[in-house]
Structure 1
Amino acid sequence: MFLAQTPDGRRITATRDEDGFCPSCQEVLTAKLGDVYVWHWAHKPGRSCDYRRSATFWQYSWMSFYHACGSWDIEIRVDGYDFDGINREKKLALKLATKLDWLEEFVGQLRRLG
C-alpha cells in the first residue's frame, strides 16, 4: 500500500522514521524502501489482508505523483467506494486500472471466438 496509518490516524508514506499500520486490519507494516520500486508499505511475511491487494508498481507511481501534487487524498474510501485518489477542491476522483489478468483472459476469449 502507498500510505500507512499512524496511531494518531495520520496517513504516511513509507519511512524508517515512524511505524505504519494497515488502515484495514491494524497490523504493523514493513516499509519497503528499495532503489528499484516506488517506496511503499507491506504486511510482514506470512501476514496479509485484502486491503489494496491488487496495487501494482504502475499504480504506486501514479499515486506517488498525485500525492506529491499536495491537493489529492490518496487511497481513500468514500461512501463505501475505494479510490486511488480524490481531489475534493476540483471534485475529481482517480480510479487506476487493477491488474490486467482479466484483460489477458478477455483477449484470450476473443481469440477463441474469432
Structure 2
Amino acid sequence: MRYAIVDGKKSEAQPKLKGHCPNCDAEMVAKCGRVKIWHWAHKGCPPCDPWWETETNWHRAWKNCFPMDWQEVSHIDPYSGERHIADIKTPYGFVIEFQHSIIHHTERYEREAFYKNMIWVVDGLRNSFDLTYFNIGISGPVQNNPLAYKINWWGRSRLLHNWADSGAKVYLDFGGENLWRLIIFDSEKNVGAVGPISKEIFIQNCKNGEPISVSYIDEEEK
C-alpha cells in the first residue's frame, strides 16, 4: 500500500517508520528497499484486502493525478460490512480502479458488483507486444459521433478478450496522450471498436464529477 496512518495522518512509507492500516487498523511496516517501489506492508500477515495488487510506477503516476485524500479509500458495503480499498474514490462516490496485472474474470465481476459506480483504467503496456497489436489492428474511423475506430486483434495477446464482457467502462492506457475506451469487442471474431479520449479531459471529468467525455468529429470540419 502507498499510505498508512502515522500519528493520525495519511503518510507514505519512509525508512523505520511505523503506522496502521487505514482499512483494518493492523500494524504496518515501511518497506523501503532499493528494488521495489517504497510501500507499506501488513506486519506478519497478508494484506487485508485480497483484491490488492502489487503497485507499479504506472499505478503511482495515475494516482498522482488525483488528490491524496481520494487515493486508497476504504469502500464499505452498508449491509454486509464488506470492505475493500479503492484505488481512487472521489467525493462523488465514483471509483476508479487501475489494473496492471491479469485479473480473473470472477474477481472482476465481484469488484464491479461491489463498487457499482466504477470504471477501469487498464495498463496496455504490461506486455511489450500489445501496443504493436493495437497499432496494427486499428483502422477507421467508422463512426464520427461519438468517434469510434475499428480494431482487429491478432496474435497471442488476450488483452481485449479479457475485458470484452466487463460490466463497467474500460479505458486502455497505451502510454500516449489518449486513453482508448473499449466500446465493444467480439471475442470469437477478434474484432471490435474503440474510441479515444484525452487523458487530460478524462482526469478533469473525474475530478469535477462529470460524465466522462466521448470524442467526436465535427461534421463541419471534415
1:62 Cα deviation (Å)? 3.4
- Residues in 1 aligned to 2:23 and 2:94: alpha-carbon distance in whole angstroms: 24
Report the TM-score when normalising by structure 2. 0.36
Q: CA deviation at 1:26?
A: 1.7
CA 1:52 to 1:5, structure 2 compared with 1: closer, same or farther past 3 Å?
farther
Cα-to-partner distance string for 1:49-97 (whole Å, 9 max, x where unaligned): 4236531233xx23422444463521113564742124559x9742112
Letter in 2 for 1:64: R
Q: Is the 8 A contact 1:4 1:11 kept in 2?
A: yes
Letter in 2 for 1:23: P
What letter matches 1:21 in structure 2?
Answer: H
Q: Cα gap change, 1:101/1:93 in structure 2, threshold over 3 Å: closer, same or farther?
A: closer
How many residues in Structure 1 have an aligned counterpart in Structure 2? 102
Higher RCO (C-alpha under 8 Å, 6+ residues apart): 1
- Cα–Cα, structure 1 residues 14 and 71, in superposed 2: closer, same or farther, change >3 Å? same
Among all aligned residue pairs of Structure 1 and Structure 2, give the percentage whose two residues are the same amino acid: 22
Q: Secondary structure at the match of 1:54?
A: coil
Q: What is the SS of the residue equivalent to 1:24?
A: coil
Counterpart in 2 of 1:3?
A: 3
Residues 1:54 and 2:56 are matched in the alignment: no
SS at match of 2:86: strand
**Residues 40, 83 of structure 1: CA spacing in aligned structure 2 closer, same or farther, 3 A cutoff?**
same
| Worse-superposed segment, 62-71 or 12-21 | 62-71
Contact 1:37 1:57 in 2 (8 A): no
In the alignment, structure 1 residue 41 sits paired with structure 2 residue 40: yes
Name structure 2 gaps, 5 residues minimum. 78-83, 106-157, 163-186, 188-222
Q: Whole-Å Cα distance in 1 between the matches of residues 48 and 75 of structure 2?
A: 17
Question: Which residue number corresponds to residue 19 of structure 1?
Answer: 18
- TM-score, structure 1 length as denominator? 0.61
Equivalent residue number for residue 77 of structure 1 = 74
Residue type at the aligned position of 1:71: P
Which secondary structure state, in structure 1, belongs to the residue aligned with residue 46 of structure 2?
Answer: coil
Does residue 102 of structure 2 align to residue 100 of structure 1? Answer: yes
**Contact residue 66 and residue 85 of structure 1 kept, 8 A:** no
Larger radius of gyration: 2
Alpha-carbon distance, 1:101 to partner = 4.8
Contact kept? 2:16, 2:30, Cα under 8 Å = no
Q: Helix, strand or coil: the match of 1:42? A: strand
Structure with higher strand content: 2
Q: Structure 2: how far apart are the matches of 1:27 and 1:79?
A: 17
RMSD value, Cα: 3.4
